[in-house]
Structure 1
Amino acid sequence: MKSASTAVSTVVALVLFRALCAEVKIVISVEDVQSIRVDLDLSNVVRRVDERFLSVAIDASLIAEEKFMNLLNSPKLRTLAKALIPAFLRFGGTKQDFMKFNPRGRYFQARENSSSAVLGNVCKRLELPPLLENRLKQEWVLQSKTLLQEELEGKYKNTKFSEYAVDLLYAFANCSGLDLIFGLNALLRTSENTWDSANAELLLKYCESREYVMSWELGNEPNSYEKKAGIRVDGYQLGQDFVHLHQILQESALYSSTGLYGPDIGQPRDHRKNLLTGFLESGAEAITACTWHHYYVNGRDTSLEDFLDPHVLDTLATKINEVLETTESVSPGKKVWLGETSSAYGGGAIGLSDTFVAGFMWLDKLGLAAKLGLDVVIRQVLIGSGTYHLVDDNLDPLPDYWLSLLYKRLVGPEVLKAEVHTLNSGQKKPIRVYLHCTNRKSTLYREGAVTLFALNLNKNEATIGLPAHMANSTIEAFVLQSAEAGEQSLYSRSVKLNGQVLKMVDDRTLPPLEGRELPPGAHITLPGFSFAFYVLTDARAPVCK
């Protein structure tokens, strides 16, 4: 009996011990999991952005040697660009103010035509043969290093480009379905320091003869002209230069109603505020939208921690509000764009701007810019020098490309209100959320669906609680995580969607981007260091119908 009693006592003790361990585990897991509640307002559209809100740029450095413009005929690059429409394609950057149109009398033999059949033939005929593409890609790696050195030294060489480069650029935009914005050189000045339009008029005349439909910019970051070229242009004169260009465009049958965007000024700081004010006072009537540039950090001295710091991300809101206030005070109702933007200036941060961690800055910028009232955000760059591009040296998509593609497919232009409440008082808010109507062009979802997108800047998993009336909605989840595990995961140049690594099927085929349906009433769990899109398919938001 004694042995039986001892055995029973042992079993009871073991059960109690296991229960205690389980309880301890639960306590630890509760501390590790962040719990937040999100309030969603589906009754009111806070903002409505352009349907081309997420747009892309090609850096003008690509034209420094004209042969590299042939990369735009890559079938792979066209496939990737086409998947991002509708979007603007900005061709500009520092190099645009050091380039001159130099016609040589070379033309494509076949004129582009509005007929889709003819256009299709032209697009196919211009495709880059694989052997030539591989050679150009190898040479571009060396060219990129040369251009980066030029940027570091601040010594910019003048470049000439011909009709051939213009043809290649326009064919890429046209075959991909992107709306081209061409950046003109503003550093061509007269002895009176007014803009010399002669070269631009030559280019405009050529583009008009070819019936190339496009919009225009004049100059890139005029606040740095003195540093880069020893030329100082004040805001008033800059505005007058735009008025002059606007008058030239008005005289063109093709470009009289085209877009003109500027001044593409750096983010507000010191004299830049005065430059923007002076520009708007004299030139606001000439422009379709006011453009400015934003980068969070200096690519040469930033860190991984900066890319995940809520305080760094919040600096964008301050800058946006400053530009919006300045623009509204001088030119009420004028649309404002982020005309060039990425994570880090100076060509990006090596090992960060082209990796998974860059997605936190990019997705938060998209959410915040739309929420605060910017109409278009142009990502630097699709292809070009630097390390903040959307495709790598082999023209394969990087994590920010996949993030951009999902955004395009799932997020509509109508911005709704979402507010985060942290259940643990005093806790920092490493979870950031944004809410839009779901992209109505998607035929996969019912009318009234909404898309919630969220970022988890913390290593711990987060649980997101929805309002009671939404708790039983069917949710389709698209969770993006690094393709690698461990300490190096944030530096990965690959990304997983719901556990599957994303890569192209072949040069002309993207993989299916499939969501994972959560059971009605299930909690939304967002893994540590991840971001995700959640389509609430049964939301029935009246403003999204």
Structure 2
Amino acid sequence: MKSAGSALPTVVFLVLVHALLIESNTDQYVQISRIDLDWSRAIRRVDERFLSVAIDASLIADEKFVNLLNSAKLRTLTKGLNPAFLRFGGTKQDFIKFSPRGRYLHVNNGTVRGNLCEKLKLPEFLEKKLKQEWVQQSKCLLEEELEGKYKKAKFSEYAVDLLYAFANCSGLELIFGLNALLRTRENSWDSGNAELLLKYCESRSYMMSWELGNEPNSYEKKAGIRVDGEQLGQDFVHLHQILQESAIYNSSGLYGPDISQPRDGRKDLLTGFLETGAKVINACTWHHYYVNGRDTSIEDFLDPKVLNTLETKINEVLEVVETVSPGKKLWLGETSSAYGGGAVGLSDTFVAGFMWLDKLGLAAKLGLDVVIRQVLIGSGSYHLVDDNLDPLPDYWLSLLYKRLVGPEVLKAEMFESSGLKKSTRLYLHCTNRKSMLYRQGAVTLFALNLNKHEVRLSLPSHMRNGTVQAFVLESSETGEQGLYSRSVKMNGKVLKMVDEQTLPQLQGQKLPPGEHIKLPAFSFAFYVLIDAQATVCK
């Protein structure tokens, strides 16, 4: 291998990773892995809103709970994640209807600014009452999910106003999911209610994008209605025609079909949809969860084999999209750790971060343009913000990702001894230049250590004396029991908000020059190589 100063068109750095793995009390061996880091060119470039979030439609199943979006704390947390899309959708979107009641929030010219954003406040007594009642509401929604019987509900202009104001004041771009289970006798989509909603949003100059339906491959199970791919595509064409006739929405985004991941080789619905409707969507969306939240275990959350299943699923969907509609952007339109509302005691704890960070790294590496996390706030156990509206570990992980990771994906490969599990995982991006925290040309390496022992990374010789800032995330509690913790520490300090309207500064720790990077047991971390001088990152 030629040195970094040679005339090679690429700059490939060889890194040795030493990890001590203890398989039992008596058997010990050292795992030595090589890592090639190449920042001479970007292998992918994702949307700057790559990490996006969702609000579950269940929040307005009882409209009073939409008032939680007036929380100053929640708005502060959401602002930290921009730029991003805010998807409003989920199972409940296909069981709710727009029902105008003449109740409005005063918004001028489609933009919520300045004083009006400050006026959107939630009185302390009402916030406390809503949070207490939301706990019981979440249980009712979970029972619906378990029984597979979904109650229909209505929402008014006020819910739409608050949702739009929340997105606008937080700096996120709203994607509204329309009900696709409103059908005609011929089983085509009945657009009447959607047109009523569109006309209202147009009258308020609300700039937003649209989806139609959620997981259509499960309509028969959830509602006794079967919609094939061709019909689904025709429904989207119909919606697109309606949008084209609007002075505001003729150029707005349209995304779909939000199918759940292909199972048992079933790709016919996606294929049929793309053959009919690909031309009218801006991106093809699908959903992914690793495991069933009702029968999973903590071992699944730490198993490299489980994490690796994502690559298989992504490649399956990519193959269909590239075959039928080459060049069409692909999104993970809804995703988290475990389906069925998440895994209780796991999906909202520190251990869930391994699935989340690895999904972000792998999805970008394989060419997905946007990943929408289920859920910012809503029912279930996979939320970023708990029932008290306090940030959970995956929120802090998402916040760091937003600040440190740019859209340019660089090459990072790990080579391991045969037969060993891939328990250390690495990804490389340009550092986020828009954060203005680091000089041009910096790169961000992020890593996961699924081992119960420390891993050490050795940087190439010419980088060892360069400036490296580390952001190491560990559970706030010690030992393997700490994996169940609902709080996290960064560089040894527990992360928490300064107050309801202020996030902590999240300053990295400068590593001593020449020392190995130490990745603690059961941890994940971001390392900013400030002196990389990567041309592609300037």
> TM-score scaled by structure 2?
0.93
**Contact 1:480–1:495 at 8 Å: present in 2 too?**
yes
1:135 aligned counterpart, secondary structure: helix
- Tell me which residue corresponds to 1:251: 245
Q: Residue 37 of structure 1 contacts residue 466 of structure 1 at CA under 8 Å; is this kept in 2?
A: no
Give the superposition deviation at 1:112.
Answer: 5.1
For 1:415-435, what per-residue CA distance to the aligned partner results, in whole angstroms no more than 9, with x for missing partners? Answer: 00001134x665332100000
Partner residue of 2:346 out of 327, 335, 352 = 352
- Could you tell me how far 1:521 is from its partner in structure 2? 1.8
Equivalence for 2:17:
none
**Root-mean-square deviation over aligned CA pairs:** 1.6
Shift of 1:127: 1.0
Is 1:99 matched up with 2:93? no
CA pair 443-39 structure 1, distance change in 2 beyond 3 A: same
Paired letter, 1:63:
I
Name 1:149's counterpart in structure 2. Answer: 143
* C-alpha distance in 2 between matches for 1:396 and 1:289: 32
> What amino acid sits opposite 2:248 in the alignment?
L
Change (3 A) 1:272 1:182: farther
Deviations 1:424-462, CA, capped at 9 Å, x for gaps: 665332100000000011222111100000000010100
1:152-231 matches, cutoff 5 A: 152-231=146-225
- Matched ranges for 1:290-439 at <5 A: 290-422=284-416, 426-439=419-432
Question: Is the partner of 1:242 in helix, strand or coil?
Answer: helix
Aligned to 2:18: none
Q: Give the conservation status (yes or no) of the 8 Å contact 2:177–2:211.
A: yes
Distance 2:272 2:406 in 1: 35
The 2-side partners of 1:309 and 1:193 are apart by 43
Cα distance in 1, alignment partners of residues 254 and 98 from structure 2: 19
The answer on 1:52 being equivalent to 2:45 is no
1:489 Cα deviation after fit: 0.6
1:487 aligns with 2:484: no
- Residues 382-402 of structure 1: CA distance to partner in whole angstroms, max 9, x if unpaired? 000000000111000000000
The offset of 1:207, in angstroms, is 0.1
CA distance in 1, matches of 2:31, 2:490: 22
Partner of 2:65: 68
1:85-128 deviation digits (Å, cap 9, x = unpaired) = 000000000000001000012222453554xxx71111122211
Is this contact kept in 1: 2:142–2:379, CA < 8 A? yes
Letter in 1 for 2:58: S
Instruction: Name the SS of the counterpart of 1:437 in structure 2.
Output: strand
The residue number in structure 2 matching 1:23 is none
Consecutive unaligned residues of structure 1, counting only runs of 5 or more, are 1-27
1:296 partner letter: Y
Which one-letter code corresponds to 1:359 in the other structure? G
Consecutive unaligned residues of structure 2, counting only runs of 5 or more, are 1-24
1:517 lines up with 2:510 in the alignment: yes
Name 1:136's counterpart in structure 2. 130
Deviation of the 1:272 alpha carbon: 4.1
Is the 2:191–2:239 contact (alpha carbons within 8 Å) kept by the matching residues of 1? yes
Judged with a 3 Å threshold, the aligned counterparts in structure 2 of structure 1 residues 113 and 337 are, in CA distance, closer, same or farther, namely closer
| Range that drifts further, 123-132 or 33-42 | 33-42
| Contact kept? 1:34, 1:463, Cα under 8 Å | no
- Structure 1 residue aligned with 2:4: none
Equivalent position to 2:444, from 441, 451, 455? 451
1:466 deviation in Å? 2.5
Mapped to 2, the partners of 1:150 and 1:113 lie a distance apart of: 35
C-alpha displacement of 1:469 = 3.7
- C-alpha distance in 1 between matches for 2:219 and 2:266: 12
Task: Flag the 1:403–1:29 CA change in 2: closer, same or farther, 3 A.
Answer: farther
Partner of 2:258 in structure 1?
Answer: 264
CA apart distance, 1:504 = 0.6
Distance in 2 between residues matched to 1:396 and 1:231, nearest whole Å: 39
Is the 2:110–2:204 contact (alpha carbons within 8 Å) kept by the matching residues of 1? no
Counterpart of 2:385 in 1: which secondary structure? coil
**Kindly tell me: are residues 101 and 536 of structure 1, through their superposed partners in 2, closer, same or farther at Cα, counting changes over 3 Å?**
same
Q: What's the CA shift for 1:467?
A: 3.0
Superposition deviation, residue 500 in structure 1: 0.1
Cα distance in 1 for residues equivalent to 2:106 and 2:504: 36
Q: Aligned letter for 2:46? A: V
- Bigger drift between 122-131 and 295-304 goes to 122-131
Q: Does the 8 A contact of 1:336 with 1:375 survive in 2?
A: yes
Query: Partners in 2 of 1:47 and 1:487 — Cα distance?
Result: 36
Q: Closer, same or farther in 2 for the Cα pair 1:37/1:518, shift >3 Å?
A: farther
Distance 1:185 1:113, change over 3 A: closer
Amino acid of the residue matched to residue 509 of structure 1?
T
| Runs of 4+ residues deviating >6 angstroms | none
1:86 corresponds to:
83
Distance 1:520 1:210, change over 3 A: same
SS of the equivalent of 1:488 reads: helix
CA distance in structure 2 between the aligned counterparts of 1:37 and 1:478, rounded to whole angstroms:
23
Cα displacement (A) at 1:483: 0.2
Structure 1 residues 276-329: Cα deviation after superposition (integer angstroms, max 9, x where no partner): 000000000010000000000000000000000000000000000011110011
Q: Determine whether 1:289 maps to 2:283.
A: yes
CA distance in 1, matches of 2:324, 2:110: 42
Residue identity (%): 79
Determine if contact 1:112/1:122 at 8 Å carries over to the other structure: no
Q: 1:470 to 1:39 in 2, by over 3 A?
A: farther
> Match of 2:267, SS?
helix
Identify which range, 315-324 or 471-480, moves more after superposition: 471-480
Equivalent-residue separation in structure 2 for 1:37 and 1:521 (angstroms)? 19
Report the structure, 1 or 2, having the larger helix content.
Answer: 1
